[in-house]
Structure 1
Amino acid sequence: MAYVDEDGTSGSGEDLNMLDGHKRRPTVVVPSGSGGRKRKATGDTIVDAMLEIAAASKMRASAILKNEDMFSISKCIKVLDKMRGVDERVYFHALDLFENSSSAREIFISIKSGKRLPWLQCKCGVPFG
């Protein structure tokens, strides 16, 4: 592995691991995001960055699961069961719609309650009014 000294020279071997009789930490040079300048990143910095990425990934996964629960099939069925005036044909068509389309579930839960039945009737070709 190559190491970069403070003066910009590089090399490998034990002589670079020792400075004035003390062990040195390896330094990795990584390109920065701006104009060719370089910054030094220690192993700890890289580990910290990886831990931040992992934490962000966990938060994103949690948010996705929460969103999926919010528009789950079972939640849609609970809302559907509480609605009045849903005939059997529309009810069973809605179940198929919920099973096959996550976007339909999201629309169904998100629209105002007074618009849900007309929306479902429109989706299954039943005249409403």
Structure 2
Amino acid sequence: MSGDDDDEPSYGSGDEVNITDGHRKRIPAAAAATPSSAASGLTRKRSRKACGDAIVEAMLEIAAASKMRAAALANNGDRFSISKCIRALDDLQGVDQQTYFVALGLFENPSSREIFISLKYEKRLKWLQGKCRAL
């Protein structure tokens, strides 16, 4: 069937589409240029999926960063643990009993443990003795 055989008048430029009764119908060019509701729904689904994918990716990055931070804190805690400080204290020569027990009290503080372990071996006893005098 051609456009001239249609019962419906021609509206100028536009696309012809088949309708269910076998006739052809011309739709205006403006309507043909805009996406159908199904196509726009597909576009929305795609953008939601892309947005969802970005959220999932961001959450995975946060989880990975959190695991790395926890591992770093665990390593740091092991490095400056109370038991490690006590072993280092036991290895020191010339520690009197009062200094030893003051040191045990200092090791309750994470900052003090880090300082003690970070000091060079020969400076640890002098630092502890200074802390004893300060108390």
Which TM-score applies when normalising by structure 2? 0.65
Distance in 2 (CA, whole Å) between partners of 1:20 and 1:58 is 40
Q: Which has the larger helix fraction?
A: 2
Q: Work out the number of aligned pairs and report it.
A: 98
Aligned to 2:125: 117
1:27 aligned counterpart, secondary structure: helix
List per-residue Cα deviations over 1:33-85 (Å, max 9, x = no partner): xxxxxxx9521111011111111111011101111111010000000011110
Cα 1:81–1:21 change in 2 (3 A) is closer
2:45 aligned counterpart, secondary structure: coil
Q: Is the counterpart of residue 80 in structure 1 residue 100 in structure 2?
A: no
TM-fit CA distance, 1:87:
0.6
Cα RMSD (Å)? 2.4
Q: Which amino acid aligns with 1:90?
A: T
Q: Which amino acid aligns with 1:116?
A: R
CA contact (8 A) 1:76 1:98 kept: yes
Q: Which amino acid aligns with 2:70?
A: A
Structure 2 unaligned runs (5+)?
A: 1-36
Aligned to 1:6: none
> Which of residues 50, 65, 69 is equivalent to 1:56?
65
1:92-111 correspondence runs (5 A): 92-99=101-108, 101-111=109-119
Cα 1:19–1:89 change in 2 (3 A) is same
| Matched-pair identity in % | 60
Structure 1 unaligned runs (5+)?
A: 1-14, 29-39
Distance in 2 (CA, whole Å) between partners of 1:85 and 1:93 is 15
Which TM-score applies when normalising by structure 1? 0.68
Cα 1:91–1:21 change in 2 (3 A) is closer
